[in-house]
Structure 1
């Protein structure tokens, strides 16, 4: 199984930091970046082969590749998303389809969370080929990627376009993808971005559900974490990253 980080986005709401850097390389604790935290977490759970999907300002990741490898004891493979500034991340994850065919623990490159999230996913019972990390403690608002589950605990809906009061919780941007799901996931992602290039990879998960796929969720418990979309999120990230 590989570690995988989606880090192709431009992060325009974080300018001027992202004038020359991808969002994943924005610092959150001194010189420690969001990417540092992602790689540190993956290495801590034994995932030392890591694929990073790059796009916007990819050269900045290339320039730090050797340093990351030495610091965290990982081997990095960079996969290029040639449409990172035009299309959304359903295409971005599809670009890494040959790699997640080996199985992958995927994390979004803009999420600051503790390694307990990765540990929760890896320790969960093998009840489905795709397992989502979900926060069912946090109070939700409109921006979050929300989920509902059926009576058996399987994913029913995953979308931002949901009344927060209806949601079970928030998908936090971490997924365990087992090899058996890879071909079906790649096909669903392709159908998703061909339908609308601006859709998210989570819409690919919804496509799988509508095709009859079982996707389960693992609750992460009461955890301090944040998806860094704007300067307010960045300020929060900087208050919690120092505690990891």
Structure 2
């Protein structure tokens, strides 16, 4: 199995940590970089190769990861000269991708079985599989429902439940046919195009451990919890 790791972002939300380090290399628990944890997990899940899409401070990622042999992987690189969105970098490496593969952000911490995402994607025969996670969003205001200038409903500081994208996808290469290499392509644009074409993505619902390290609060939480969750995230290590 093959994975593409998206690691070209500038990590603006994590400054000053990302001033000198690319976001996927910020430390977790003072022991491991996020990207190292991801690569270990991919190898554990049965992946044999991956391509890392790099951009901002990409030379540091190259120096750190090398050819991936220390984790039992064959690692190659694709350089993003300008921002291409979530899916845009894939268009520049189409000739190196298998029919089905994993795509993931390089800044997430989870015990998701990446291999199972690809297996379910293959079985679903869907153009795209999106790993989803339940998030509760608290509204810190009293919320009014109005009609014709009158208040007809009220809820005091309600919370809303959503399933959000985890930044992990199973993708079929043919799904990207017709898009132009070198132009930006976002995850949102791809999903909306698939829905418009009545070819909906498959949802891989997950309820284990997941943090988006691009969010400062989640990064702080990841460091605080790493000792407790190390065995969960680095099985066998």
The answer for the alignment partner of 1:92 in structure 2 is 89
SS at match of 1:124: helix
Could you tell me how far 1:41 is from its partner in structure 2?
1.4
The answer for the alignment partner of 2:186 in structure 1 is 200
Give me the whole-angstrom Cα distance separating, in 2, the residues matched to 1:140 and 1:120.
28
The answer for the alignment partner of 2:204 in structure 1 is 218
The answer for the alignment partner of 1:32 in structure 2 is 32
Could you tell me how far 1:166 is from its partner in structure 2?
7.7
TM-score (normalised: structure 2): 0.77
The answer for the alignment partner of 1:152 in structure 2 is none
Q: 1:65 to 1:205 in 2, by over 3 A?
A: same
Could you tell me how far 1:3 is from its partner in structure 2?
1.4
The answer for the alignment partner of 2:117 in structure 1 is 121
Residue from 105, 110, 133 that aligns with 1:108: 105
Deviation string 1:55-77 (CA, Å, 9 cap, x unpaired) is 010110111123x7233111100
Find runs of 4+ consecutive structure 1 residues off by over 6 angstroms: none
The answer for the alignment partner of 1:172 in structure 2 is 166
8 Å Cα contact 1:117/1:133 also seen in 2: no
Could you tell me how far 1:214 is from its partner in structure 2?
3.0
| Structure with the larger helix share | 1
SS at match of 1:107: strand
Structure 1 gaps of 5+ residues are 143-163
Greater Cα radius of gyration, structure 1 or 2? 2
Give me the whole-angstrom Cα distance separating, in 2, the residues matched to 1:60 and 1:186.
32
TM-score (normalised: structure 1): 0.75
Report the RMSD for the aligned CA atoms in angstroms.
2.6
Give me the whole-angstrom Cα distance separating, in 1, the residues matched to 2:8 and 2:36.
15
Is 1:227 aligned with 2:212? yes
- 1:156-171 alignment, distance < 5 Å: 165=160, 167=162, 169-171=163-165
Give me the whole-angstrom Cα distance separating, in 2, the residues matched to 1:32 and 1:118.
19
Give me the whole-angstrom Cα distance separating, in 2, the residues matched to 1:70 and 1:220.
30
The answer for the alignment partner of 1:131 in structure 2 is 129
Could you tell me how far 1:235 is from its partner in structure 2?
0.5
Number of aligned residue pairs: give it: 208
Give me the whole-angstrom Cα distance separating, in 1, the residues matched to 2:119 and 2:62.
32
The answer for the alignment partner of 1:239 in structure 2 is 224
Q: 1:186 to 1:113 in 2, by over 3 A?
A: farther
Give me the whole-angstrom Cα distance separating, in 1, the residues matched to 2:138 and 2:194.
25
Deviation string 1:89-134 (CA, Å, 9 cap, x unpaired) is 34233333333344211111111111x3414414537122421111
- 1:130-149 alignment, distance < 5 Å: 130-135=128-133, 137-140=134-137
SS at match of 1:219: strand
